[in-house]
Structure 1
Amino acid sequence: IKLDDVREMKAPPYDKVKDGLQKQLGQRQLEKMLTDLRAKATIVDNTKAAKK
């Protein structure tokens, strides 16, 4: 195999990737919020009280 040419890869235009970036950033924010809420949550086992 012989290499004939080397070209730099161009970044896609912002307009084409904007929607995907917004979704990805929104997902990251949601995951961070859920992680923070889970860390602060207190879980109480009330199964005995619920059976009465």
Structure 2
Amino acid sequence: EKKPVKVINKDQWSSLLDFCKAVPEDLQNYDSTSSWPVLFDDYVEWRQQ
């Protein structure tokens, strides 16, 4: 299991609003091959469990 994330970097912070606008809460149109930070991929994977 991965360690919990306590701090995010500037790239992740800068991408967060765009991610929230582009991907609905149900994550249906999330594309893991897009150029989102890996942290977002991990989040989507966690939510889909």
TM-score range, shorter chain: under 0.3
With the length of structure 1 as denominator, give the TM-score of the two structures: 0.26
The structure richer in helix per residue is 1
Determine which structure has more spread, i.e. the larger CA radius of gyration: 1
